[in-house]
Structure 1
Amino acid sequence: MTAEETRYQENGVSWWALMWSVVFAALGYVAELTTGGAVHTVAWIVVAAGLMVITVPWVYARRRFLSVRVTGTTLWQGRESLELARVAEVDDVGAPAGARVLGGGWTVPRKYEEVPLKLDDDTVVLAWARDPDGLRSALRRPDAT
């Protein structure tokens, strides 16, 4: 395994979320077709495009700030990175009140679980992931497993 090979990754959200705008517009179009009234094809295309335009920043932000990635040398939480060499302990670490959350937030993001990490200077930080066991196993040193 090379140093920059990805051991674990969560993207925050998929770009497929943009397709919801097309689905909603298509459902509106089909509803107009089935009710027998006037069909506003161009309006539904504009609705799909408009919903897509306002969804792009949401997807981009979630992919940027809620992504988790572990390589052979680094843990990335959002835009913040932590060298794996600094992680002293992954298992059985308690989360003290006021522990710093990685990624720059005040709290662990919603729908993510906290993963307390003890660093080489005996401080505890909170990493987070949707699959905390997967993140823990990716953070363990290969010689420790």
Structure 2
Amino acid sequence: MSETRYLESGAKWTALLYGPFFAVFGYLAELATGATHAVAWVLVGLGLAAITAPWVYARRRFLTVRVTGTELWEGRESLPLAEIAETQDVGAPTGARVLGGGWSTPRKYDELPIRLKDGTVVLAWAKDVHALRAAIEGA
């Protein structure tokens, strides 16, 4: 596998800690008032971590953007860099295919139109399209 030149993960696994931290603060607040329910707070922390895990897994699987020395990965779809003709001043025609398999660019992501060597235009997406463009052109 070639080195990663650009990486934007969809979510970080540290998000699993939000639920247990909330439970610890809830327990400490209860401790300050007198009556505590330690078992309930442990269950709340574990429950919140359990429902956060599929969310993090899905975001990492479908919203990760990576550029290696040979490929551009958008979610689960890869595009060989050898197929890319240009990334500068490419207009996005209506109905251009979005990389990654979605109908449109994911929310909170900017789009980067890319012209392929066969003349078609596809839409790549990232939170920082300038860094993505630089990584594609640098590779």
TM category (shorter chain) comes to over 0.9
Q: How do 1:1-145 and structure 2 match up within 5 A?
A: 4-36=2-34, 38-141=35-138
CA RMSD in angstroms, aligned pairs only = 1.1
CA apart distance, 1:78: 0.3
- TM superposition outliers: structure 1 runs of 4+ over 4 Å: none
CA apart distance, 1:31: 1.7
* TM-score (normalizing by structure 1): 0.92
Deviations 1:110-141 (A, max 9, x none): 11100100001111000000110000001114
Instruction: For 1:96, give the aligned amino acid.
Output: P
2-structure distance, mates of 1:48, 1:141? 44
Q: Helix, strand or coil: the match of 1:98?
A: coil
Unaligned runs of 5+ in 1: none
2-structure distance, mates of 1:20, 1:95? 39
CA apart distance, 1:34: 1.7
2-structure distance, mates of 1:101, 1:35? 54
Q: Helix, strand or coil: the match of 2:4?
A: coil
2-structure distance, mates of 1:106, 1:27? 41
Unaligned runs of 5+ in 2: none
* TM-score (normalizing by structure 2): 0.96
Instruction: For 1:46, give the aligned amino acid.
Output: L
The count of aligned residue pairs is: 139
CA apart distance, 1:25: 0.8
2-structure distance, mates of 1:61, 1:42? 30
